[in-house]
Structure formats: C-alpha cells, structure tokens
Amino acid sequence: MVAKIENLEEIPLFNNSEDIKKGTKFDIKHIVDDENRLIKNKGRVQQHGEVFTPNWMVKKMLSESEIQLKLQDTQATFLEPSVGEGAFLKEILHQKLGHVDDTSNKSNWTENALWVLTSIYGIELLTDNLVKAKQQMMKVLIEHYQTFYQKKISSNTDFYKSASFIIDNNIVQGNTLTYLNDSDNLIMFSKWKRVGNEVSQLQFTYKSLLGDEENQLDLFESSGQLDLLDDLMEETPDKKFIKISKVYKGGVGVMKDKFKFDVVIGNPPYQDDSVGDSTQAPPIYHLFMDQAYKIGNIVEFITPGRFLFNAGATPKKWNKSMLSDNHLKVLYYEQNSASVFTNTDIKGG
C-alpha cells in the first residue's frame, strides 16, 4: 500500500506551464540572494537574538579540511541547530551537490542527490525563517538538477515530491534548547536508511539524542511507504544502479544506537534577549555548545570570545572547562564584531 502524504508543501519557484525556448542553457546561479544582507530589522535582533551570518564567513567555516572531507561524503550528516534563513544549510547542500555533480551520471544523480538531502538537518525557532530556509534549499537543488540534466524540473515528478518530503522532515520548527516545537510537542527528526532497494524512515525525537528520554520505543514498526523516483527511472533505466523505489515510514521513538551527527555547525543565538537589555541578557550560546558536544563528532560555531579570557557572563566553571579542553581550537578571532556583522551591535556574552 502506498501511503498518502498529507500537506506536502509545494514551493512555487517556477511556472510549470512555461515553455522552454530552444537552446536554453541552465547553469548554477549565485546561491545567495544578497550576500551583504545580514539582519531583517533591529527589533528582531533584540527580541530573538537574530544575527545573520555573511556568506563569506559561511564559506570560510566550511573550508576547514575536516569539514571538506565530510562535504564529499553524501551520507555524512550535518546539523544546524539554529537555522535562521538557512545560510549554512544551502551552502552545505550546494557544496555536497557539487560533489554529486562531479561523481554521478544521469542514471544515478537523482538517487545521490536525495541521499545528500537526507544527510542535512536543521532546527529553527521562527516560522518565517523556516519557510525561507526550505525554499532556499529547494532552489539550490533545482538549480543543480537543471544544470546537470539541462532540462527544467516539474513539481509533479516523484523526485521533486520526494525532495520536498525529505526537506520537510529534516528541517523543522522548534526551540533547540527546550526540545519543543510551537505545539509543545518534542522536536522530531528522521533517520534514513537503505534497506535493499528501499529506504526506511526512522522517526525519533531530538531530545533522545541527549539521553534525556527513558522509554525505548520500537522504531521499525512500518506504517506505510512512499514511491520514489519511478518516473525518473523510466527515463534512465540503467539497471546497474540501485533504484530507490520506496521509503518506509517507521514508528516514532528514540534512538537506540549512539547516533551522532558528523558535523554540527552554525551561528547560534548568543544571549536570551527576552530577559533584560542587551548588556544584561543572560548568555545561551554556551548551552548550544554543550548540546552540540554531546550530539556531534565535529562542532564548529561562531560565538562571542570573552570566555577565552575567562570573562563575560558565561559561568566561570564552564569557561575553565572550555579553556582546558585540548580539543577546542580557535579557527578565527575578530575583536571587533562589526568587522563580521556590519550594522549589528553585539553586546554582552
């Protein structure tokens, strides 16, 4: 039985009825809409601690050799715990798909691209940011698809629907620090696993990765399946490549194995700006760091640097533990935050 996917979001990126002129050539466009736009408005920064990361900094962070190795692995998992509008997610996807472009042929590009999507995760507190981030990821995927195949993609294809389904399950709304979404339900993620010619979707709570849940529920209780790539395989029927034809949706539970993300990366909120003013608001970036250390093999964050001098508002005990950690490395230090975040006043921390 094929499960019906409810509320599958269609992103209106193009008009399917539009005719393609003969000789039209598709290529990769600039992924970032505006590399210099960092913030929406001052009020958002004050209320939610939003500071948007410039694209040059995103690329600099992703250029680290250990990160580059993971970007060339289609199944190496990445998590951005505070997505914003998806600056890291779309660049991670762009670079991972670049590797897929270089190593795939027309028979297996779509399969490899979907595996890349299953490897990228994100959590975002604000719904409008979440929608934007998902749109940006789909835009990146479409540009790579159309450049590789030199043809326009339709939102009616199984590939497009499968991609939307994966993004919708991997990039989710919620408060990373409380583990809850706006409905006061635990944040849910999916782990995707190849099972023969099929893909299983194993749903689990983000909280379970931190070891904060006791009940061990069965993840493998199948509740349906989703056809993937059938129409594309008709176009590229090379039987040498494994056809991902279905994805099984597993029961909800917690991770029984020691699942860790290969990379946790981003620019998390620095302080809780809902409490006090910008100079007295309590810091929270250290809480994001503590979480990331538990669930990630490699962690790369932008944070205030006062703790490096055992100063600032973070707990002194935490400062000392960081300073004595042989695994902690400062990759880039800038004393003047305005050199990175122009027109943004960052205080406290």
- The Cα–Cα gap between 271 and 314 comes to 10
pLDDT of residue 335: 81
- Looking up tokens 């996807």 gives 93
Strand ranges for 86-129 from DSSP E: 120-124
Cβ-contact 228, 247 below 8 angstroms: yes
Give counts: helices (H), strands (E), the chain. Answer: 10, 9
Cβ-contact 89, 81 below 8 angstroms: no
Cβ-contact 155, 10 below 8 angstroms: yes
Give this prediction's pTM.
Answer: 0.79
- The Cα–Cα gap between 193 and 75 comes to 10
The SS3 assignment for 183 reads coil
- The Cα–Cα gap between 152 and 167 comes to 20
**Residue 193 CA, distance from chain mean position:** 18
Sheet with 296-301: strands ordered across: 171-173, 120-124, 78-80, 261-266, 296-301
Number of alpha carbons in the 13 Å side-chain half-sphere of residue 98: 13
Cβ-contact 59, 26 below 8 angstroms: no
- Looking up tokens 């991972």 gives 96
Cβ-contact 272, 158 below 8 angstroms: no
Cβ-contact 229, 245 below 8 angstroms: yes
Tens of pLDDT along the chain (349 residues)?
Answer: 233 333 434 333 333 333 445 567 787 765 544 444 443 444 444 454 556 789 999 999 999 999 999 999 999 999 999 999 999 999 999 999 999 999 999 999 999 999 999 999 999 999 999 999 999 999 999 999 999 999 999 999 999 999 999 999 999 999 999 999 999 999 999 999 887 767 788 889 999 999 855 433 334 333 334 444 444 333 334 333 334 444 444 445 555 456 899 999 999 998 886 665 555 789 999 999 999 999 999 999 999 888 999 998 999 999 999 999 999 999 988 887 777 877 666 655 5
Helix H segments across 171-284? Answer: 230-235
- The Cα–Cα gap between 76 and 116 comes to 8
Q: What is the DSSP letter of 115?
A: H
- The Cα–Cα gap between 93 and 117 comes to 7
Beta bridge partners of 247: 199, 226
